[in-house]
Amino acid sequence: MPPEPVLTRSPARSREDIAKAEIGHTDVSAALARATTATFLSLVCVVPLAQSAYDRWTSTSLEPTARSATARVPEPTTSMLVARYLANREAARADAPGFVGQVLALNRTLLEWITRFEEYLDDASLLGRTVRPPGQYVLTRAFGVGNEQAYTAREGWLFFRPDVDYLTGPGFLAPAEMKRRRAIASEWTTPPESDPRPAILDFQRQLRARGIVLVVVPAPIKPMVHPEKMARVYDGWRKPVNNPSYDELVANLRQNGVPVFDLSQALVDERLRSGRPQYLTTDTHWRPEAMERAARDLAAFVDERVPLPPAPDPGYALARVEVTTLGDIARMLDLPDDQTLLRPETVSIGRILSADGGPWRPQRSADVLVLGDSFSNIYSLGSMEWGDSAGFVEHLSHALRRPIDRIVQNADGAWSTRMQLRQELARGVDRLRGKRVVIFQVAARELASGDWKVIDLPAGQ
């Protein structure tokens, strides 16, 4: 008799194994394969071909609209590349001096340029300008949804996402948070220095060696003073909302002799007393009256702590002007030009005029220097569309009744103005000569998101 067959059981296969086996043996007809390939290639090619045809027809080359240029970045230019290369070279010297450092700086600049150019194409492309604004309009109108930069809130208010992240995120001095920030740094930058204390204290040390007093001014950001616009639970809230590490930072700086001018509680008190907003509805920045209050209070703060010598009255005058425009956060939403969801806002700014009737001008020979960011530029820099000659530095100069020198830049407030100061000193332009006070104004969000690199200033002339 033939031997009985031996029955064996196949090993059990997981659903993943079965799925892989079926995928590997999927039968696709030739017609379906051709149709799928043709559809894919059409989708890949139609956008650049349409863009090229549009550019030729309009004789433009991806010219960005004012909305898209404001919302993100302008077309990268040669001057931008040179400026970023110089900044990257300064940052690379500490890690790899000499030729290697220059190569690293150039590589970082190219990587940043590529990323910025991709963002520029995304903003300025025909597809983006055609599809994104109406799509965002539907999302905002129907669902109250913002985007990756702007949050919608109560009563038509808008908030800048980094501002909200500063308040809702972990303490910026927590070791785990500083480690995380270094780990997620962009490939074109050196890992950021997350702790503001070494940079500020070193800056104070260098200025003190020249007989100059450093005053730090963390400008309160919008949700610190107006949390009630984000959530009803904050209705009637009587204290500014802040990052968990803020009080620790301020206490540490003051213990080391750095005067810190904190205006946040005063603005909250004024909001509760008057019932009037202290910040613009659709913009990142403070209203003119809050900014002017900050300048007056800072002038009194400086007078109490720094013995400034008497100065001739420069004869400044104040002229009120109304300005109507839409805020920067509204432009970040990238809504259609004819949208009616968000209305322009009208404010009364106080333009500071010189004795000759012209606009206020900084003076290099002044004994007060302000390093500031967009909170100093708002109402001062005309391109921000909120008027000119009426900013924080102008009103501080008016309150102190003395000329002021300034170095201001909208972005990267943690390091950019200190770097500009260093570069001018290195070129032989001593912006610190004759100075008695340096006021370092920086948006509070920069305490958690800025790069607080230590910057060595060249020796005095």
Q: C-alpha angle with apex 20: 17 to 24, nearest 5 degrees?
A: 140
pLDDT of residue 69: 35
pLDDT of residue 12: 58
**Is the C-alpha dihedral spanning 330, 417, 436, 305 positive or negative?**
positive
Q: Looking at residues 291-319, what average pLDDT do you find?
A: 94
Amino acid at 268: V
Query: Among 112-116, 167-171, 228-232, whose mean pLDDT is lowest?
Result: 112-116
Output 185 or 332, whichever has higher pLDDT. Answer: 332
Q: C-alpha angle with apex 41: 38 to 44, nearest 5 degrees?
A: 150
Instruction: Give all strands of the β-sheet with 405-408 in edge-to-edge order.
Output: 213-219, 437-443, 368-372, 405-408
Output 141 or 88, whichever has higher pLDDT. Answer: 141
Cβ neighbours of residue 359 under 8 Å, at least 6 residues apart? 351, 352, 353, 388, 389
Measure the CA–CA gap between 133 and 125, rounded to whole angstroms: 12
Confidence of residue 49 (pLDDT cuts 50, 70, 90): confident
Measure the CA–CA gap between 392 and 376, rounded to whole angstroms: 5
Amino acid at 372: G
Tokens for 253, please give them.
């700086």
Q: Does residue 94 carry a pLDDT above 60?
A: no
Q: How many CA atoms lie within 13 A of 282 on its CB side?
A: 21
List b or e across 188-203, with b for residues whose CB sees 16 or more CB atoms inside 10 angstroms: bebebbbbbeebbbbb
Q: Looking at residues 302-331, what average pLDDT do you find?
A: 94
Cβ atoms within 10 Å, residue 371: 25
Q: Is the pTM of this model over 0.85?
A: no
Q: Does residue 83 carry a pLDDT above 80?
A: no
**Is the C-alpha dihedral spanning 297, 300, 306, 310 positive or negative?**
positive
Q: Does residue 248 carry a pLDDT above 70?
A: yes
Q: Does residue 242 carry a pLDDT above 70?
A: yes
